[in-house]
Amino acid sequence: MARFKVVGVGGGGINAVNSMINAGIKDVEFISIDFAPSTSLASKHITLGSNTEECAKAADEHGEEILCALKDADMVIIVAGIGGTTGTSAAQVVAKCSKKIGAFTFGVVIYPFLCEGDERAERAKNGINDLRNVVDSILVIPSEKLFNNLDKSTSLIDKFKEIDDIIRHGVQSICDIGNGYSFVGADLDMIKAVIGNNKFAYVGIGEAAGNNAPLTAFGEAINSPFIEEQLCEAKGIIVHFIGDASQFNLLELNETVMNIGNYVHPEANIMWTGVLDDAMGDKVRAIVVATSQCRDYE
């Protein structure tokens, strides 16, 4: 089995990691990095002290401790809110440590809301572009997209939880595939081939029940507002299905898989996988991770 380590950096990253821990994601080691105090539930926590004004320096000073925590990892997934102090600076230090030990390094960053101001947005863009020069691939979650299909009954806490759920499902899919849980032959090397080589990644999630549930769930996932790039330009795509065995009709699943190529670039590297989970009941979930060649985030 591949060894996965998920590192939550700063408050936003730690919230996402806590969500994964509470959901019971298996075969993953969780690490958190933040200034004191911390709400982390991770088994390993690195405290950078209390001087938040010199975050990059503090993270560098804890470089050996970070290297020790990441030791033996095959893949390191770094989760951070970007645009603030800790996530923007310390995430780069973690990524450099991850590359130093030879791990495949995947960044997952949460882009701030527009209402948080131009200065934070500019810092976030610069942080993303700096981080993507260190990691093998970077997934951007634009918070502003939470306002799509928003109604007055939706609470702020529910919307923040939605971000954590999106990250959790995306991370769990990658770990399940890398650990060989898919009923279709797949492993970490295949993941690297699709999302590696310094690419931007985008994630979408859909759920459906009834006739053609896999196809309907896939359609919902690719129409997610969090997939910012036009899918027809995607040079790589992972489509991961989760559901009870009784919901995977072979003809419906085959129709869905045959349709994937209609939505992406003709030269795209297409990978589809699936895991069985009887807790899904009559629903099928589709998680889509689409990639595009790296460019500056704007």
What pairing do the DSSP bridges indicate for beta strands 236-243 and 4-9?
Answer: unpaired
pLDDT tens for each residue of 68-84 = 999 999 999 999 999 98
pLDDT tens for each residue of 278-291 = 999 999 999 999 99
Work out the number of other CB atoms within 10 angstroms of the CB of residue 53. Answer: 7
pLDDT of residue 82: 92
pLDDT of residue 229: 74
Distance CA 66, CA 61 (A): 10
* Domains of the chain by residue range: 4-178, 200-293
Residue 298 reports pLDDT greater than 70: no
Confidence of residue 4 (pLDDT cuts 50, 70, 90): very high
Q: Does domain 4-178 have CATH number 3.40.50.1440?
A: yes
pLDDT of residue 54: 81
Residue 191 reports pLDDT greater than 80: yes
pLDDT tens for each residue of 232-274 = 888 899 999 999 999 888 898 899 999 999 999 999 999 999 9
pLDDT tens for each residue of 99-153 = 999 999 999 999 988 788 889 889 999 999 999 899 999 999 988 887 766 566 7
pTM of the predicted structure, to 2 decimals: 0.93
Mean pLDDT across the chain, nearest whole number?
Answer: 90
Q: Does domain 200-293 have CATH number 3.30.1330.20?
A: yes
pLDDT of residue 149: 61
Residue 296 reports pLDDT greater than 70: no
Residue 218 reports pLDDT greater than 90: yes
Q: What is the mean pLDDT of residues 200-207?
A: 92
Order of strands across the sheet that contains 137-142: 44-47, 28-34, 4-9, 75-81, 104-111, 137-142, 199-209, 283-293, 236-243, 269-276
Confidence of residue 161 (pLDDT cuts 50, 70, 90): confident
pLDDT of residue 85: 84
Q: What is the mean pLDDT of residues 203-210?
A: 94
pLDDT of residue 32: 96
User: 257 Cβ partners below 8 Å, 6+ apart?
Assistant: 239, 272
C-alpha 248, offset from chain centre: 25
